[in-house]
Amino acid sequence: MLEITLTHYLTLSAIIFLLGGVGIYFKIKSVIHFLICIQLMMLAAIINLAAFSCFSEDYAGKVFAFFIITVVAAEAAIGLAILVALFRKKGSTTIDDLKLTKD
């Protein structure tokens, strides 16, 4: 209990990943919520990679955590650009207005 092992970190990251997925599945009101939940899942992945790289004493996990941060930045930039374009087109940012890509 007092000894922090790999299992603790993996459980924590699994909880965060599940909460992010639950947020995507149940609580979508606007596109900003969608982006935030994706960021939570990326955070869980970062914890997972850093924990594995620390406990197996290998630096590759840290490098890939670094790459995940760049992916987070790129994803947020593209998502916000889509959000701005959607708001200019429709005037709101709710998820129902994303149907315009079907038309």
Partner 1 sequence: MIQAFLFYALAMILVGSVGMTISSRDPIRSSLFLLLAIFNVSGLLVLLGAKVIAVTLIFVTSFTIAVLFLCGVLMLDINAIQIHRAFKQHFWLASIIGLSFVAELLIFSIVLLVFDVSETAIVLKKTSNISILSSALYAHYFYIAQVFGFILLTSVIGFVILTARKTDLNKKDQDQSKPQQFMVPVRSARSNEIEPC
Q: How many secondary structure helices (H) and strands (E) does the chain include?
A: 3, 0
In the block, tokens 């197996």 appear at 56
Least Cβ distance, residue 102 to partner 1 (angstroms): 19
Q: Please state, in angstroms and rounded to a whole number, the distance separating the CA atoms of residues 15 and 12.
A: 5
Least Cβ distance, residue 96 to partner 1 (angstroms): 15
**Residue 91, SS3 per DSSP:** coil
Out of 7, 10, 14, 85, the only residue in the binding site for partner 1 (CB under 8 A) is 85
- Please tell me whether residue 51 binds partner 1 under the rule CB under 8 A: yes
- Please tell me whether residue 50 binds partner 1 under the rule CB under 8 A: yes
- Please tell me whether residue 63 binds partner 1 under the rule CB under 8 A: yes
Q: Please state, in angstroms and rounded to a whole number, the distance separating the CA atoms of residues 49 and 32.
A: 26
Q: Please state, in angstroms and rounded to a whole number, the distance separating the CA atoms of residues 30 and 37.
A: 11
CB atoms within 10 A of CB 29: 11
- CB 86 within 8 Å of CB 31: yes
- Please tell me whether residue 95 binds partner 1 under the rule CB under 8 A: no
- Please tell me whether residue 55 binds partner 1 under the rule CB under 8 A: yes
Binding site residues, partner 1, CB under 8 A? 1-4, 8-9, 12, 15-16, 19-20, 22-23, 27, 29-30, 32-33, 35-37, 39-40, 43, 46-47, 50-51, 53-55, 57, 59-60, 62-63, 65-67, 69-78, 80-85, 87-88, 91, 93
